[in-house]
Amino acid sequence: MKPYRTMARNSMQSTFAFRTAFLMAAVAACFQLVATVALWSALLSNGGSIGGFTLPEMKAYLLMGYVTGWLGNAIGEWVLANRIRDGQVALDLVKPIETQKMMFAQTLGGLPMELIMIVTVGAGFVLVAGPMPGPSNIPLLMLSLVFVMPIRFCIAFLTTQLVFWTQNFHGVSWARNAVGAVLSGSLVPLSLMPTWLQTTAAVLPFASLTSTPALIYLGKVSTPTAYLLIGVQAFWVVALWFLARVAFRAASRQVTVHGG
C-alpha cells in the first residue's frame, strides 16, 4: 500500500508545482462557461424550454458538466502515454507493483487540485450565472460523483494502451474526447439527441461520467431510476477495471523497449 500512497502524494505535489498551468486552464474554463451560458441564454431567450430543460436548469446542467469534467482529469493520461512511448514502461513492468494500480494512485493524487478547480470556478459560476436550482438529492448526487473518477480513469487507461501500437497519442486522445463529449451528455443533454445516439450512449460507459450525475442533481430521474443509474455506474467501474487489466496484459507484450 505504501508505494501507492507515495505515488499519489508525488502526483499531488506535481499538480501544485504546475499551478500556473491550472490557473490558465481555469481561465479558459471560465470563458468556456460564460460562452456556453450565452449560447443557451440566446436559445432559451423566450423563457421556454428545450427537451424539458429551462434556462436555470440548463445552467445547473452546465455546472455539473464542468464539475464532472474535472474529476480524474488533473493528472493526464499523458504520464503513462509518454512512458509507453519512450519505453520507460519496461521499468514499471519489472517493479513489484501493478501498473494499473500505480496509475490509479497517481490519478487519485490529482484530486485535491481538481477539487480546488471545481470549488473556485464552480462557486464563481454559481454566483455570476445564477439563478439556478440546487441539487435535488445531495446524498445520491455525491454517491454518483464518487464513481466518475474511477470510470474516467479506466477509459483513459484503456485508450492509453493504444500507444503500444501507435506513436501518436494526440490523435487518440482528441478523438476519444470528442466522442466522449457527445456520448457523455456534456455537449448537450442526451435526451435532446436523436434516438440512435441515445441508444449508443445507453450501452457505453460515457453517460455515467456526466449525464448520470447531472440528471440526479436536477431531479430529472425518480429515486429508483437514480439508484439504477448509480448501479450502472458501479457496473462500469468493475467491468472496465477488469477489461483494462486484461487488455494491459495483452498490450504490454507489444512493448518496444528502445522507445518508438
Partner 1 sequence: MVAETLFAVRRNARLYRRSLGAVVRAVLEYVADFWILIAAGIVTQSLGLVFLSVVMSRVPHLNGWSYPEMVLIYGLAGVSSGIVPVLSDGIWQLASFIHNGQLDYALTRPAPPLMQVMSAWVGFNGVGDLVASAAMLTWALTRVDVHWTPLNVLILLILMISGIALRLAMCVVANTVSFWLRMPMPMFAMTAWQVGELARYPLGIYGFGLRFLLGAAAPFAFAGFFPAAWLLDRGGYAWLGILTPVVAVLWWIFAVWLFRRGLRRYDSAGH
User: Residue numbers of the site for partner 1 (CB under 8 A)?
Assistant: 20-21, 24-25, 27-28, 31-32, 34-35, 38-39, 41-43, 50-51, 165-168, 170-172, 174-175, 177-179, 181-182, 187-188, 192-194
What phi, psi does 131 have (nearest 5°)? Answer: -80, 150
116 vs 192, which CB is nearer to partner 1? 192
28 vs 97, which CB is nearer to partner 1? 28
182 vs 247, which CB is nearer to partner 1? 182
Q: How many CB atoms lie within 10 A of CB 22?
A: 17
Q: Are 184 and 155 in contact (CB under 8 A)?
A: no
Q: How far apart (Å, rounded) are the C-alpha atoms in residues 120 and 137?
A: 22
Q: Which residues pair with 50 in a beta bridge?
A: 53
Report in angstroms how near the CB of residue 76 gets to partner 1 at its nearest: 11
24 vs 238, which CB is nearer to partner 1? 24
Report in angstroms how near the CB of residue 142 gets to partner 1 at its nearest: 29
Report in angstroms how near the CB of residue 23 gets to partner 1 at its nearest: 9
121 vs 145, which CB is nearer to partner 1? 121
Distances (CA, A) of 77 to 39, 158, 161: 31, 10, 10
Which distant-in-sequence residues (6+ apart) come within 8 Å of 64 by Cβ?
Answer: 210, 213, 214, 217, 218
Report in angstroms how near the CB of residue 211 gets to partner 1 at its nearest: 14
Report in angstroms how near the CB of residue 5 gets to partner 1 at its nearest: 28
What phi, psi does 49 have (nearest 5°)? Answer: -140, 155
Report in angstroms how near the CB of residue 173 gets to partner 1 at its nearest: 8
190 vs 237, which CB is nearer to partner 1? 190
DSSP H helices, 96-254, are: 99-109, 111-129, 138-146, 148-160, 169-183, 195-203, 211-218, 223-251
